[in-house]
Structures are given as C-alpha cells and as structure tokens.
Amino acid sequence: MDNAQDTRSNSGILGAYLARTPGSAKLAAEAANLFPSGITHDARNTDPYGIYIERARGPHKWDVDGNRYIDYFGGHGSLILGHHHPVVNKAVADAYEGGSHFGANHRREVEWGQVVQSLVPSAERIRFTSSGTEATLMAVRLARSFTGRQTILRFKGHFHGWHDHMTHGYTNHFDGTATTGVLPGVAEKSIVVEPGDEAAVRAAFAANKDIAAVIIEPTGASFGQVPVRPEFIHFLREVTAQNGALLILDEVVTGFRVSKGGAQVEYGVTPDLTSFAKIIAGGLPGAAVGGRKDILDLLDFNVTKAQGKEKIQHPGTFNANPVSAAAGIAALSTLDATDAPDTANATAARLRDGINEMFASEGVPWACYGTFSGFHLFLNPKGRAVDPTKFDPFAVGQDELKPNSPAQANKLRLALMANGVDISGRLGGFTSATHTDADNRDTVAALREATRMLRAEGELPG
Ligand code: PMP
C-alpha cells in the first residue's frame, strides 16, 4: 500500500487532485457563474475548487467522479450517527409521506420537544428555529429582554452564527469594531474577551453593569480547536449568577455529541439558556433555544400578558417542521439508545493517537489534538519543538492553534482529498458512531501520504 501511495507523491498534490476530480471541476466552472466564489457556504472555499458529492453512507461519501472519501465534515457536525442512518431515514420518509408542512401544530413537535427535554433537563421550555444562527439570535434577544440589559460578553474566536451580534471577534475585528455591513452601535453592545481568562471576565463585569449574558462554546472555539477547561465554564456559571447576568451555552456543536446531554450534562453546569442545532435535527435543517421557563415565558402570550410585559415575537415558516422533527426524534432516540456519543468519542481518541504516532514516526513536527469526538491538526506555524504524542494545546496561543496558513491548509486538504479523506478547512473534523478502526487506519495512511507529498513539494521541513 505504501508503495502505491509513494508513486502518487511524485505526481504533485495539485496534479493528483485535478486528475481525480474532472467532474467536480466541470460543476465548479458552472457554479462560478452562479454563486460568489462558486460556493454556498464559506467553509467550502477551496483553491482551485472543492469536491462535488453525489451520495453518502455511514462515514463515507462519494464524489461525482466516483471517488470515495472518509468524511470528517459529518454534516458540519450534525451527523453523529453517520450518513443515511436507516432509522432516521425511515422516519424522514414516513413523515414526508404525511406532508411536509401543515401550517398547524403536529404530534411530532411534541415528541421532539420531549426527547430534547429528557436529554437536556435545563431545557424547561424549548422554542424550535431553523438554524443555529437563529437560535443564538433568539437566546440573545431573550437575555436582553429578560435582564433589561444590552451588552453581551463573548469570547475571541468563538462562533455563534453569522447574525449581526456575533460577527466581530470571530476571525477578525478583534478591536471591537463592527464587521462590514454591521452597525457600529450593535457591535459596541457585544464585547469580546480572551477565552479562559477569568480576570478579563471579572474586569468586564466590574467595568460594565450592563452585561445581559455571557455566551460561549463550552469546549472552546470551534469544538475545542482553541480549548477552554471545564472549570472556566463553572466559573462563568458563578460569575454570571453573581452579577445578575445569564449564562448561554452555545451547544450547537457540543449538544448531544460530547455526551447525550451535551457539554452541560458532561460538566455538570446548568445554563440559563442553551442554543442547539445540528444533531438536534438529525441532519436536516432545525435548531432550538431551550432554557429556564421564566425566561422563555417572554415568548408566551398569556404569561407576558399577565405580567404586563411585551412578548417577544417569533414566527418562522419552518420552525419544528414535521420532517425535521421526525429526523430529530429518530436521531436523538437512537443516539440515546446506542450511546453513539461514547462510541464517536472513543473512535476520535484512537484516531488522534494514531495520527500522533504517525507524525512522530515520520518526523512531522505537527500534532493532532482535541476532545470528545473532535480532532484538530496543529501545523506548528512558529516551528516549535513538538512531541506530537505529548502536545498540550493549552501551552500554545490561540494565534498558533487557529490561523494555519490558508495556503498550506489548502494544500494539505487537497493532498488528503487526493488520498480519500475529507477534513474541514480549519483542519479538523468530527467522528461519527459509524467510523471504524479501518477508517482510522486508512485516515492515518492517507495523512502519512499527504505529509510525504507536502514534503516532496518543500512544504514541510525534513
Ligand atoms: N454556533 C456554533 C457553535 C456553531 O458551530 C454554528 C455552526 N457551525 C452555529 C452556532 C450556527 O449554526 P447554523 O449554521 O445552523 O446557523
């Protein structure tokens, strides 16, 4: 196997990629006349073009040229049961058979809410939305309305969707200025501090009595690419309560993944509000905000009337649509019954170890790290002396963990795709409960070959 792959090293990364993907190239040329950058999601920005996928099963997907990939995008984290899970599939087909939108209440939304609440007890009340962006938008609106305060405290590099309150401080505008198209007044009401920095959080509360809520990705930015320790989440729980502010855990990624009940159950922290998306809807569009009844009561017609408060309006054509509800019920019940998060976590741990052993044996000065069912590649931009098997991301700054050189990252991705593995552009991914040891082994082999190809092109020392 190594011999066959060594031959590919000689063809060059771009050449190997182009030779495998003529069908994708053709579609990309058509897409270039339709979509900005030819893509429909920023994460798909690939030079010269990304792959076009035709179908997917379990941990694998196949492009229009018939190439198979081990998939670590996992539906951007929504597919912990893998692609095309039979139970989810049947539930979706059955629901669609009945009709996709009734303009009315339906039994599946009740069942969906019940299964969410059974897994995440802090969700005393739930409101379904169509995307995680909408869920964090609603969480922030609830927090501001409930507390009568305006400012939201966020963390550098943490992603909470693309609405106006969440844009600066994610990949740019770390100085607090508004990103293009966002009103400066909106940006001013959202302050961003270093994750993990208790002193900075305390100082923010001391200086600003207007903080309505703190929102955080509980395992760290981008599912722990820049990790935060569980103690920091406990600290945030305390400091928000002390200061009359709310704690919003953004469990769009971690929900139903870190554990059945998400990071909050795993860590034993009860937030005031939680945003959910991805796994909650079983791979279809769907999301929710859940939390304290007295806060979500701001969406309740009768309670707000009785309390003399203004109700927060919340329509949304596809809220809790029956097909997404069916997928969500099937996925959540199945992951609960099968301990899918534990399986995916164990697979990722073995994958991280396998990659690091390979890096060590190949003399590659990189490292693979992560927690739960995630992995991230550290490409060592400052040329540190690294023992991949002992790498500690807490010893390295955010600037080294996150912004890998886009050109190098792109080349690594092309090399990996040329060897049948698809990871995200931030250089990491998710395992599902369907990834096997054979997938791990093939992934390590593909990454070994990719590093050799990079070395052959002078992109890696040694
Ligand atoms: N929060 C987090 C932590 C996310 O990872 C994402 C999406 N990747 C969102 C919010 C936004 O969710 P959506 O893409 O469904 O709008």
pLDDT band at 8 (very low <50, low <70, confident <90, very high): very low
Whether the pTM exceeds 0.95: the reply is yes
- Please check whether residues 147 and 195 belong to one and the same domain: yes
- Please check whether residues 446 and 416 belong to one and the same domain: yes
Residue 198 lies in a domain: yes
Instruction: Please say if the pLDDT value at position 7 is more than 70.
Output: no
Average pLDDT for 109-113? 98
Residue ranges of E strands in 59-142: 60-63, 68-71, 125-129
Last residue of a domain, one of 337, 366, 394: 337
- The share of the chain scoring above pLDDT 90, in percent, equals 94
Cβ partners under 8 Å of residue 136, min gap 6? 160, 161, 163, 165, 166, 215, 248, 250, 252, 275, 289
pLDDT of residue 403: 63
Neighbouring C-beta atoms of residue 304, cutoff 10 Å:
16
Cα(77) to ligand 1 centroid in Å equals 10
Residue 279 lies in a domain: yes
Give the CATH number of the domain where residue 122 resides. Answer: 3.40.640.10
Answer whether 131 contacts ligand 1 (Cβ < 6 A).
yes
DSSP 179: P
Residue 461 lies in a domain: no
pLDDT of residue 88: 98
Q: In 3D, which of 133, 94, 86 has the Cα closest to residue 111?
A: 94
Number of domains, the chain: 2
Answer whether 161 contacts ligand 1 (Cβ < 6 A).
yes
Residue 236 lies in a domain: yes
What is the b/e burial string over 281-290, where b = at least 16 CB atoms within 10 angstroms of the residue's CB? bbbbebbbbb
- Please check whether residues 78 and 91 belong to one and the same domain: no
Residue 168 in tokens: 């600066």
Residue 459 contacts residue 372 (beta carbons within 8 Å): no
Give the CATH number of the domain where residue 389 resides. Answer: 3.90.1150.10
Task: Render pLDDT for 303-327 as a digit per residue (tens, 0 to 9).
Answer: 999 999 999 999 999 999 999 999 9
pLDDT of residue 9: 42
- Please check whether residues 74 and 213 belong to one and the same domain: no
Q: 151-155 and 190-193: which strand pairing?
A: parallel
Ligand 1, atom 9, residue with closest C-alpha: 161
Residue 462 lies in a domain: no
Burial of 55 (0-12, 13-18, 19+ CB in 10 A): exposed
Pairwise CA distance, residues 430 & 460, whole Å: 25
Cβ partners under 8 Å of residue 206, min gap 6? none
- Please check whether residues 175 and 44 belong to one and the same domain: no
Instruction: Please say if the pLDDT value at position 3 is more than 50.
Output: no
Cα(160) to ligand 1 centroid in Å equals 6
Answer whether 281 contacts ligand 1 (Cβ < 6 A).
no
Average pLDDT for 415-420? 98
Mean of per-residue pLDDT scores for the chain:
96
- Please check whether residues 186 and 293 belong to one and the same domain: yes
Task: Render pLDDT for 328-370 as a digit per residue (tens, 0 to 9).
Answer: 999 999 999 999 999 999 999 999 999 999 999 999 999 999 9
Task: Render pLDDT for 117-157 as a digit per residue (tens, 0 to 9).
Answer: 999 999 999 999 999 999 999 999 999 999 999 999 999 99
From residue 433, alpha-carbon distances to 118, 206, 310, 374 in Å are 21, 45, 45, 12
Residue 60 lies in a domain: yes
Bridge partners (DSSP) listed for residue 152: 190, 213
Ligand 1, atom 1, residue with closest C-alpha: 160
pLDDT of residue 4: 40
pLDDT of residue 11: 58
Residue 323 lies in a domain: yes
Answer whether 136 contacts ligand 1 (Cβ < 6 A).
yes
Task: Render pLDDT for 166-192 as a digit per residue (tens, 0 to 9).
Answer: 999 999 999 999 999 999 999 999 999
- Please check whether residues 217 and 283 belong to one and the same domain: yes
Residue 410 contacts residue 441 (beta carbons within 8 Å): no
Residue 330 in tokens: 């099937």
Last residue of a domain, one of 321, 337, 353: 337
- Please check whether residues 54 and 187 belong to one and the same domain: no
Which domain, by its residues, includes 348? Answer: 2-82+340-456
Tokens 């200086």, residue located: 207
- Please check whether residues 208 and 264 belong to one and the same domain: yes
Neighbouring C-beta atoms of residue 65, cutoff 10 Å:
16
- Please check whether residues 119 and 39 belong to one and the same domain: no
Atom of ligand 1 nearest to the CA of 277: 15
- Please check whether residues 333 and 217 belong to one and the same domain: yes
Last residue of a domain, one of 304, 337, 370: 337
Least confident piece of the model among 330-344, 368-382, 393-407 = 393-407
pLDDT band at 404 (very low <50, low <70, confident <90, very high): low
Ligand 1, atom 14, residue with closest C-alpha: 132
- Please check whether residues 321 and 420 belong to one and the same domain: no
Q: Which of 253, 254, 276, 430 has most ligand 1 atoms within 8 Å of its beta carbon, as the pocket-test mutant?
A: 253
Instruction: Please say if the pLDDT value at position 5 is more than 50.
Output: no
What is the b/e burial string over 249-273, where b = at least 16 CB atoms within 10 angstroms of the residue's CB? bbbbbbbbbbbbbbbbbbbebbbbb
Pairwise CA distance, residues 418 & 17, whole Å: 5
pLDDT band at 64 (very low <50, low <70, confident <90, very high): very high
Average pLDDT for 285-306? 98
From residue 234, alpha-carbon distances to 164, 256, 289 in Å are 28, 19, 21
